[in-house]
Each structure stands twice: as C-alpha cells, then as structure tokens.
Amino acid sequence: MIKFLPLFLFLSLPCLAALEDEKEIKAIEKAHAAVDSVKKEFKQRLMEAVQTGDLEKAIPSCKIKVPKPKNMKVGRTSHRLRNPNNAPPEWTKAYLEKFSKAKAEDIPKYVITPLGKNRYGYMQPIFVEPICLNCHGRYVAKDVKAAIRKEYPKDMAINFDVGDFRGLIWLEFEN
C-alpha cells in the first residue's frame, strides 16, 4: 500500500482541488444572487425617492432595509463614510484601501475570500452613478446638504464624481 500511496495522493489531489473549486463556485453563485437582490431593491427605492423630487425625505432610502438573506451578514461600507455605523469589517479593509487608489478598470467585479471553515467573505465594488450625485456629489442642494449634515455630522461621502469608486457591498456567509 505504501508503495501506492504517492500515486494515490497524486491522483486524488487534483480531485480535491476540483471539489474545492466546485464549493467555491457554489459560494460565488449564492453570493451573486444575494447581492443582486439587495442592489435591485436598493436602486428601485432610490429611483422612486428621487423621482418624487423630495430628496430630503429620500435620505433614508439610501439605508439598507431589505430583508437580509438568511444566515448572511450584509452591509455597505466605504473609505469615505457617511454613517460611521457602516465602518468596514476587518477583512475588507485592505481591499477598500487598495480599490480607493486604483483605476476603475483595475478593480475586480467581485472578490471572494475564505474566512474560516465553510465561511466566506464576498464583496462587490460600488461606483458613483449620476443619480448618486444628488446626495454624494459636488453640488448637493442646500436643503439636502443641511439635512445630511444634521443626521450625519461626520459625513465624508460628498464631492464624488460619476465613475468614482464609492465603496463596497459585502457579505459574510456559510456554505
């Protein structure tokens, strides 16, 4: 048997690697689905809010209020925070730092990273779109600005331009 052990190991290693890959693919699929639904819900609420024209009342619509997928932690974070409660989880910090200095085209569409046995961290970058400028741009309406200042006295999430890296949407989950 000893004689065959190296052969056995040699043959089974790629197999194990494939299994790992498959597990990771499953994790990625799960994460994509969860993020897609959070983003869709969030965009829709933002769109509705901005269309009604009352931006001051729309301010709460940039909070994540969607039902969180089961057994998942979901959040948004940034290198320039509006709400200090959205501070980055430890494992996202290095990415946040790196992406905030990178060119948009050099930022990966997503990152998945193991956080322990069967536990994953997943993130997607968020970029500034025209609609975001209403509350994160250089020319935020006076009353909106005042309302933001009042609720978020330490606001750093202003003076962004379209296409800027704004932050991350992140997940932690078991798979």
Residues at the interface with ligand HEC (CB under 6 A):
46, 49-50, 55, 58-59, 62-63, 76-78, 81-83, 86, 126, 128-129, 131-132, 134-136, 157, 166-167
Residue 160 beta carbon to ligand HEC: minimum distance, rounded to whole angstroms: 9
Compute the least distance from the CB of residue 173 to ligand HEC, in Å. 20
CA 77 – CA 47 distance, rounded (Å): 21
Are 29 and 114 within 8 A, CB to CB?
no
User: Shortest approach of ligand HEC to residue 135 CB, angstroms?
Assistant: 3
Which conformational region is residue 75 in: left (phi greater than 0), alpha (psi within -120 to 50 degrees), or beta? beta
Q: How far is the CB of 97 from ligand HEC (least distance, A)?
A: 15
Q: Are 55 and 105 in contact (CB under 8 A)?
A: no
Question: Can you tell me the distance from the alpha carbon of 90 to that of 9, in angstroms, rounded to the nearest whole number?
Answer: 36
SS3 state at 70: coil
